[in-house]
A and B are shown apart, each in its own frame.
With several copies, the nearest count.
Chain A
Amino acid sequence: MTRLTTEIAYTTTEMMTVAAARRLMDRAVCFVGIGLPSTAANLARLTHAPAIVLIYESGPIGAKPGVLPLSIGDGELADTADTVVSTAEIFRYWLQGERIDVGFLGAAQVDRFGNINTTVIGPYEHPVVRLPGAGGAPEIAGLAKEVLIVLEQSKRTFVAKVDFITSAGYLNGGEDRARLKLPGKGPVAIITDLCIMEPEPVSNEFVVTNLHAGITRARVEEATGWKIRFAEGMKETPEPTDRELSVLRDLHQRTAVAHGRAD
């Protein structure tokens, strides 16, 4: 779906990417997964956060890719990184070493307490759908100082309770996560194509704190598998600026050319 701003139309995916990029402070050390997180992190680097440090699990530290990697280990990352270490070192010295400020996670399912499922739909032994699995997520969820979850919103993906907790959010809510005494705060926001959700104080249930421009509450309710609530003083997400959009689209354009495909 696209809508018209004073100057240019943008897609809800672009809104989601821009909203995610805006959450990244300059100089933050960011553990980046492939796909939308990588796009958002590089958009941040090319706009308001030039000194952001991007770490990819394949080994690059301080990567500054000119085009978006299609895989987590593209040569472009090695070429532009300050250094490239082994994958074991990334997980041991850098993630477990508590040097990551922000970890970006996607999900196949996310629930009202920010728990993530990327393992199976249905029972573990006899899955209806076998998903890719954990990857780096369980430890990113526990060890990054903050986690941002980014994915498109639908009743299928936003469920009251995930079939399988691959990576912990606030578990059953309230103090449940705090009991684990983890270095990481857990997911501080879920950023979707419709809105931004944040954990409500005390309950740690995710509620809508920002509605993207032009999105109705009804639309969000239809796309959520639990009775979603809207925070008092909920704001509207400012639309993407011309600069954000042009940098994002240039990035996609350069990427399409480099990867020899039309996006």
Chain B
Amino acid sequence: MAEIVNLRDAVASLIHDGDVVALEGFTHLIPFAAAHEVIRQKRRDLTLVRMTPDLIYDQLIGAGCARRLIFSWGGNPGVGSLHRFRDAVEHDWPRPLEVEEHSHADMANAYVAGAANLPFAVFRGYAGSDLPRYNDRIRPVSCPFTGEVLTAVPSLRPDVTVIHAQRADRKGNVLIRGILGVQKEAVLAARRALVTVEEIVDDLKADPNACLLPHWVVSAVCVAPRGAHPSYAYGYYERDNRFYQAWDTIARTRESFQTWLDENVLKEQAA
């Protein structure tokens, strides 16, 4: 049963130090508002899971929330590097960051296996790649019928998955529209799910086959208008491409990042 609560209470009750947390959204509907609340509540030692740790994880990593990162592509899309991510990996600042690295196909399959309550996923992956040499969680598995050897990875089962969606109804049924990414699988694979939405409506007016999460698989729904900014919410607002470009400068030095964080995330704590 999804409770409709405020974001501060939802983060306080659902996300704990040391949790495995997936904040998903594939360039669309990235849950920035929730991530900022996690930073304000000073969560520590999180294992952050995300296919594309872009600005949202650069911020969480730079703010010192993360101990470990499970990911498949870490960059500022169309712009360049994630400087806070690189500073953590290359110089242990603000703290060392363990990295567990996969491919997109691997992580997408691992979320599907998690949603399906299977311990592992089977796919055709990594042929000729060096990655399996450095990641013991990528192993061979043989077909019991043909003997063909395929790739297996453990399923992803986060303690908490956090996503942003366009709308929820008053019961807490959640509607996602447009680019879907892996959000549905990430929610169903997790023990708890926190969903921020642009608005609560009386009637979702959803197509029968729309991507809808029933209220009883969601732990909490929070209203967070523009909660995906600087990413976008299809049907609500556009991607703020200028901010993605500006981030390259903001995150380049520890000082400029800290200043930005103080002014744009932490000071809201007072509010």
Contact = CB atoms under 8 A, between A and B. Distances in A.
Contact between A and B in the complex (any CB pair below 8 Å): yes
12 contacts: A72-B26, A72-B77, A78-B28, A83-B212, A84-B178, A85-B209, A87-B182, A119-B130, A127-B90, A129-B86, A132-B81, A142-B124
A141 B103 CA distance: 12
Interface of A: 27, 29, 34-35, 53, 57-62, 70-75, 77-79, 81-88, 90-93, 95-99, 115, 119, 124, 127, 129-130, 132-139, 141-143, 164-168, 171, 177, 180, 182, 259-261
Given A70-B244, A87-B182, A92-B116, A138 B73 contact: no
Interface stretch (B14-22, B37-45, B235-243): B235-243
Given A34-B78, A59-B179, A142-B127, A259 B27 contact: no
Contacts of A87: 26, 51, 104, 108, 180-182
A72 B28 CA distance: 9
B245 interface: yes
B126 A99 contact: no
Contact of B85 (A115, A130, A135, A141): A130
A182 B179 contact: no
Contacts of B111: 88
Interface string B222-264: 0000000000101000110110110000000000000000000
B116 A132 contact: no
B90 A139 contact: no
A166 B127 contact: no
A155 B128 CA distance: 24
Given A70-B239, A259-B241, A96 B89 contact: no
B208 A70 contact: no
Interface string B169-187: 0000100001111101100
B93 to A, nearest CB: 13
B117 interface: yes
A65 to B, nearest CB: 13
Contacts of B201: none
The main secondary structure of chain A at its interface with chain B is loop
B105 A91 contact: yes
A86 B103 contact: no
Interface residues of B, number: 68
Contact of A83 (B86, B124, B214, B244): B214
A182 B241 CA distance: 38
A153 B166 CA distance: 43
Interface string B55-93: 000000000000000011111011001100110011000
B183 to A, nearest CB: 8
Contact of B74 (A81, A82, A132): A132
B129 interface: yes
Contacts of A59: 26, 179-181
Nearest to A79: B208
Nearest to B110: A88
Contacts of A91: 104-105, 108-109, 123
Contacts of A77: 179
B163 interface: no
Given A70-B239, A84-B208, A130 B90 contact: yes
Contact of A136 (B103, B117, B123): B103
Given A82-B212, A133-B72, A165 B239 contact: no
Contacts of A85: 180, 209
Contacts of B116: 92-93, 96-97
B209 A84 contact: yes
B11 interface: no
Given A134-B104, A138-B105, A139-B124, A88 B208 contact: no
Contacts of A136: 73, 103-105
Contact of A53 (B109, B128, B216, B241): B216
B234 A86 contact: no
A166 B123 contact: no
B12 interface: no
A127 B127 contact: no
B179 A84 contact: yes
Name which of A58, A136, A138 has the most chain B CB atoms within 10 A of its CB. A138
Given A29-B216, A53-B216, A75-B232, A133 B71 contact: yes
B217 interface: yes
A139 B78 CA distance: 21
Given A35-B78, A96-B124, A119-B101, A83 B129 contact: no
B27 A58 contact: yes
Name which of A34, A61, A72, A182 has the most chain B CB atoms within 10 A of its CB. A72
